[in-house]
Amino acid sequence: MTTSLRLTLQNSLTRRKEVFEPADPARVTMYVCGPTVYNFAHIGNARPAVVFDVLARVLRRLYPHVVYARNITDIEDKIIAAAKEQGVEISAITDKYANIYRDDMGTLGVLPPDIEPKATETVPGMIAMLETLIANGHAYAADGHVLFNVPSYAEYGQLSGRDRDDMIAGARVEVAPYKKDPADFVLWKPSAPEQPGWDSPWGRGRPGWHIECSAMIEKHLGTTIDIHGGGIDLQFPHHENEIAQSNCAHGNAPLARFWLHNGFVNIEKEKMSKSIGNVLLVHDLIKEAPGEAIRLALLNGHYRQPLDWTADGLMQSRRMLDRLYGALRSLADVEAQANDAVPEAFLEALLDDLNTPKALAVLFDLAKQANTATDKAERARLKAALLGSGYLIGLLQADPESWFAGAGLAPHIDAEEIEGLIAARAAARKAKDFKESDRIRDELAGRGILIEDGPQGTTWRVAG
């Protein structure tokens, strides 16, 4: 570690905050459930991508080698249905939406994971795991299916803390004559001739959803990993089932030492739902606001708490970034002392179970200091602190002038033309032609450009 401070995380499995110590400090492993690629990602899907991107950045600051895996689920009934509806191959759907997901998350400042395993590339490992589970009495074959026998695993329910009746109701289990127990869940199912499938000891078929992650973790990260993350909606049944499968396949070795879950995203105080019609797609939001503003809006609340997404909140996040970039712009005349300088108070906040609201408060205090500092060395230190802290949380990644020019959000803005109008206004003011000066200001305002006159000249930014 590069700091005497220690990372603490709220472990969903033990329901308490614990000091994080990896099994092997030379190889820290983290797996996060990624997208099922059949449609655009909504803002709720973006929250874990952003949250665990921050955690990965923090881990990389603390440890020399971090292996972060985030999977792609590219075989699932919804994908099959979408391909059939559009009359295309499965891969046409999965490749399209996987690429869109990567691009959209990249716009939010989410760095690519170290490993991005695909379910379709891991089927042999899934079949091998099912054979092990059958051999040791934790799974059985019936009517072309393979099912996990829940009563065979006494610890089932330890992650979610639900009792048996709640688990059966919460899982919306399929009632089927081939099940030994109503709670049993599908590990493998038969495929019709027109559906994608793989040959297996139980006939041609395809994997159930839950087994995919267990097999991908085993293949790429090992039997027991340090951190498993995802949204709270995955805690049951998906993560509960992952634990059961993996523990039983690996002689009761734990799947993960820490389990982390981010809270739901609600929309204007209502649950996000297709039936309500309030599902917000990231692909649409990035056309309305800069990716960093969306990212900041997701980080304004603590990751474990529910987040109420509002249009006003997104606008506020953009104004907050204006303040931060304004501070950086005021420091344009000094060179940052180092590009990895992070104040201890900022790092301490993130090490306290990713307390991003507290970290952001430190970041804005730095900006306040930058706006009043006059000593050149102090200004250089503050610039380094802003940039280093910004990188650790995935903000302030644009050039300040580019940010105020719209940060790629306003392609209709011609920066050279704007600079020319500002120069013409300055000339008009110098000639005391205030009517022309006001006309140019009004023209700029009408085009969504705000100008600010200061001791060092006139600056401008796109209104937002």
Q: What is the per-residue pLDDT across 151-194, written as a single tens digit (0 to 9) for each?
A: 999 999 999 998 767 666 655 556 788 999 999 999 999 999 99
What length does the chain have?
Answer: 464
70 phi, psi to nearest 5 deg: -135, 120
**Do the beta carbons of residue 221 and residue 29 sit within 8 Å?**
yes
Core vs surface per residue 85-118: b (16+ CB within 10 A) or e: eeeeebeebbeebbebbbebbebbbbeebbbbbb
The region, left, alpha or beta by phi > 0 then psi within -120 to 50, assigned to residue 457 is left
Q: What is the pLDDT of residue 438?
A: 87
What stretches of 333-381 adopt beta strand conformation (E)? none
Kind and range of the H or E element at 346?
A: helix 344-351
Reported for 149-156, long-range contacts at CB under 8 A and 24+ positions apart, including other chains, are: 149/180, 149/181, 149/184, 150/181, 150/183, 150/184, 150/185, 150/244, 151/181, 151/183, 152/248, 153/244, 153/247, 153/248, 155/243, 155/244, 155/247, 156/183, 156/240, 156/244
pLDDT band at residue 3, thresholds of 50, 70 and 90? very low
| Per-residue model confidence as pLDDT tens digits over 269-318 | 999 999 999 999 999 999 999 999 999 999 999 999 999 999 999 999 99
Amino acid, res. 367: A
Dist. CA 290–CA 410, nearest whole Å:
10
- DSSP letter assigned to residue 91: H
**DSSP letter (8 states) at residue 421:** H
**Within a 10 A sphere around the Cβ of 384, how many other Cβ atoms?**
21
Q: What's the confidence (pLDDT) of residue 4?
A: 67
Average the pLDDT over each of 110-114, 126-130, 438-442 and give the range with the smallest value: 438-442
Residue type, 290: P
pLDDT, residue 225, reads 98
Residue 351: C-alpha distances to residues 8, 226, 261, 393 (Å): 6, 16, 16, 12
